Amino acid sequence: MSKGEETRRQVLEAAVEVAASSGLASLTIGSLAERTGMSKSGLFAHFKSKETLQVQVLEFASEAFVQDVVRPALSAPRGEKRITTLFESWLAVSRDGTAECLFVSAAWEYDDQPGPVRDRLVRMHLDFSDSVAQMFRTGIAEGFFAADADPEQFAHDLHGIMLIYFQAHRLLGDARAEERARHAFSRLIESNR
Amino acid sequence: MSKGEETRRQVLEAAVEVAASSGLASLTIGSLAERTGMSKSGLFAHFKSKETLQVQVLEFASEAFVQDVVRPALSAPRGEKRITTLFESWLAVSRDGTAECLFVSAAWEYDDQPGPVRDRLVRMHLDFSDSVAQMFRTGIAEGFFAADADPEQFAHDLHGIMLIYFQAHRLLGDARAEERARHAFSRLIESNR
DNA sequence: GCACACTCCGAACGGTCGTGCTATTTTCGT
DNA sequence: ACGAAAATAGCACGACCGTTCGGAGTGTGC
């Protein structure tokens, strides 16, 4: 990896952290430069604009999310086990991770702000939703779920469970959030069985 | 209503609109002044700081939310009808309204930013959650829902349904979002019956 | 050994931010 | 109608914003 590529990585790593707690929109070149021990202009040179930086931050976080959530699920046995693994990994990164936090907050920051950032965000959500639906579909084919179950609805419902878990955990500091999420999840599974 | 109170109202009205689409944190005195045809300092005098403005915006939006969602539910007959009314009103303001949008986005903007804004936000969420649980509890007492159903879990689950509806509708522009929300809601009701 | 990318820095730019001050105008109780 | 009080405007401030530009330092291929 070339020198430039490495510093770019370091910057993006720091940027994900900052954006996860302060929001993607409130990323500033200055604070990011200070955090990484670079000059503003030196850092800026790696990204031609702030918008490009934001998009690359999203991309970077997306890779981490896929690595931490989608991959473990895909390497689990098909069917219910795969879905459960997905849920557990998702829960884990939602509890401790930074990337997931970024997606959720960015989703609402940009739901009314047209532009490349929003477009990327939408595509990521759609892609992930499709992945979940596909995992569920495989589960149907293997006989784990009801034949007339709706994969898109399942992906939708599961996402809702994760969103409210996230809010209860991060905003309200609800100690029982995880328990509630598991409860909701198992009921969702049961009703699709 | 005194003159000052009226302009304060007008400012807050505009502020809710702006904050709903751009976020509560990115409210600026300048743009808000321009939007209301005032000078920066003239507007600023009504709120002693930007933070106070943000808190008052939240308060203002909260009143609208209670007016549009909680009150219709409370004036519906107890039990399932009340819960259904709550859901329908909530869905309606989530589809078209601005106040609800503000709460949802602010919840993630401030979930990691300690201070008065976050504190207010947390209290509002807790209060509303309690209201929902209480409505459900009444429904249990009246025999509409299972005696061993969990009111807090119900409030939690319902909130999840609304969050994912909101995201599907606003970010993804999913035309079937409402249909999915209704489906998830009726399944939630059934599993608590 | 020299030219050439690549990487980064320092300084500066026009702009906007929140927030003070001081006037001036408007409102309102009497 | 008048005087106090409230409401608003004008102006300035220091800080930070994204961005540009010219130029150092450094390694690499010829």
B93 touches A: beta carbon within 8 Å:
no
B122 touches A: beta carbon within 8 Å:
yes
How distant is the Cα of A31 from the closest Cα of chain B, in angstroms? 17
Quick check: B44 pLDDT over 90? yes
Decide: B171 and B163 in contact? Cβ < 8 Å.
no
State the pLDDT at residue A1: 74
pLDDT tens digits for range B111-120: 999 999 999 9
Option in B23, B122, B160 nearest A164 (CB): B160
All residues of chain B having their beta carbon less than 8 Å from the beta carbon of residue A24 are none
Decide: A165 and A93 in contact? Cβ < 8 Å.
no
pLDDT tens digits for range A52-101: 999 999 999 999 999 999 999 999 999 999 999 999 999 999 999 999 99
Quick check: B85 pLDDT over 80? yes
Looking at the whole model, is its pTM more than 0.75? yes
pLDDT tens digits for range A6-15: 999 999 999 9
Q: Can you list the alpha helix ranges (DSSP code H) found in A23-150?
A: 29-36, 40-44, 50-65, 71-74, 80-96, 99-109, 116-141
In this structure, is the CB of residue A50 within 7 Å of any atom belonging to strand C?
no
Tokens of B146: 């299972």
Decide: A15 and A27 in contact? Cβ < 8 Å.
yes
Quick check: B130 pLDDT over 80? yes
Decide: A100 and A119 in contact? Cβ < 8 Å.
no
What residue is closest to C26 (Cα–C1')?
B3
